[in-house]
Chain A
Amino acid sequence: MSEPQFVRARSVDHAIDTLKAAGGDGLIVAGGVVVSSLFNQRLASPAVLVDISRIKGLRYIKRTPNGLSIGALATHDDIHRSADVKAVAPLLTEIAEDVSCPRLRNRGTLGGSICTIGGQGDPATGLIALGATMQIKGPGGERTAHIEDFYKDAFEVDLAPDEIVERIDVPAPQTGARFAFCKLGPRNAMDFTQITVSVVMAPTGSGIRIGMNGVANAPNRPRATEALIATMNAGSINWTAVGKTLNGEISPQGDLVYSEDFKRHLALIGLRRAVERALARSKEAGGRA
């Protein structure tokens, strides 16, 4: 196997030009956590590696009139420590706190997390529940994509080989919105998560947005389940009915440890815990928590 050429991109445009010249055989590397792991397992052999980690102006977290703007190179640690994230979208603070461990949070970026094909992504669930959009740039210019539409299927995201995610825009939830995140796996730390669920609920009633991971080939938004919960009284949700609808919207794959049925069971438990936590939090915090 010949070694890929290594190009240190000076700007977003330089990276795009390099990817374009590589004709589909280029691979972006940001924090490099996932890309390194692919190399260690001999799972990738691109012709060109495009290092975007030194591009100026891609690592930031800013408040905007609508909420937050997060540069693709912001790390999980940056997000975890950010007072602006905590003030505007504390769901993302909570999720960042639970991503793997400090030594990986220091290096792994948000852009790398959402673009990781195979969808090992806790942050993606929160971004789906919050209704985030991504700003993507390619040779033809910029475009905006809703994060829930970004994931197409296993190993398939809506990103051309010469496109780069520049930033993620997160609209501020309504004042008093309730939220929670639930992660289910064999251990608290360092396991590739089985099921993660993020929910954002309206300040009152049962209006809800849900982001899930681990229950289909890619992170997803179970819209029929959201619609059903919204018709119920928040205090007396019929979880049997919710489970039926959710089952129709998810397609987990059994693995060596967990069967498909067990994952379906976990998906409902994760959702139920997230919803119950969100509702309990609103009581204890008296509104926006």
Chain B
Amino acid sequence: MANIDITLNVNGKDHRVAVRSTEMLLEVLRDRLGYVGTNKVCAQGICGACTVIVDGKSTTSCLALAAQFDGARIITVEGLEHDGKLDPLQEAFMKHGAVQCGYCTPGFLMSARAFLNDNPHPTRTEIIDALRGNICRCTGYKKIIDAVEDVAARSAR
């Protein structure tokens, strides 16, 4: 029974929703609120495709009980764009060819965004470590890491 009332702020917009106690944040975002940019692959915490930013930190939405997140501020891939302008990470992913099938991309973008907000000028090794929880079966990772490195190099010191 969906009887636990919670409020989620998603990309700046408040949503009141009644959830079941075993419902995952991922399902609520996708199936109830329509934020379908967040992808589901493994539902086991392994692949990172479902990564969103919760209260400033990257979070695995397939292993997150929605009922625990009342009042949370969530950013999904749809929230990266501002006033019709893509996030520099999205621009860099296109420029570097860091996207092939694109299934993993929202998760990488959210992990990378949370990481760069916390550490705007990382080393390449730190970028690799920050993305260790995201799996891509197409690109071979190099272009993704190049894209994140590019954004870090261009951001003001």
Could you list which residues of chain A lie within 8 angstroms of chain B, going by C-beta atoms? 3-6, 29, 32-33, 35-37, 39-41, 49, 51, 53, 77, 100-104, 106-107, 188-190
Contact = CB atoms under 8 A, between A and B. Distances in A.
Contact of B51 (A29, A39, A103): A103
A107 B24 contact: no
B67 A100 contact: no
Interface stretch (B42-50, B76-84, B89-97): B42-50
A103 B48 CA distance: 8
A43 to B, nearest CB: 12
B139 interface: no
A187 B149 CA distance: 23
B67 A40 contact: no
23 contacts: A33-B60, A33-B63, A36-B62, A36-B65, A39-B65, A40-B63, A41-B44, A49-B22, A49-B65, A49-B67, A77-B57, A100-B45, A100-B133, A101-B48, A102-B111, A103-B51, A103-B58, A104-B133, A107-B59, A107-B64, A190-B132, A190-B133, A190-B135
A101 B57 contact: no
Interface in B1-55: 1, 4, 20-22, 24, 43-46, 48, 51
A33 B46 CA distance: 11
Interface of B: 1, 4, 20-22, 24, 43-46, 48, 51, 57-60, 62-65, 67-68, 111, 114-115, 130, 132-135
B44 A6 contact: no
A168 B44 CA distance: 28
Contacts of A188: 132
Given A29-B65, A189-B132, A190-B132, A6 B59 contact: no
A36 B63 contact: yes
B48 A32 contact: no
Contacts of A101: 48, 132-134
B60 A103 contact: yes
Contacts of A36: 24, 62-65
A244 B21 CA distance: 50
Contacts of B59: 103, 106-107
Given A3-B1, A36-B24, A190-B133, A102 B58 contact: yes
Contact of B133 (A40, A53, A189): A189
A35 B65 contact: yes
Nearest to A54: B68
Contacts of B46: 190
Given A6-B4, A77-B57, A39 B64 contact: no
A104 B21 contact: no
Contacts of A190: 46, 132-133, 135
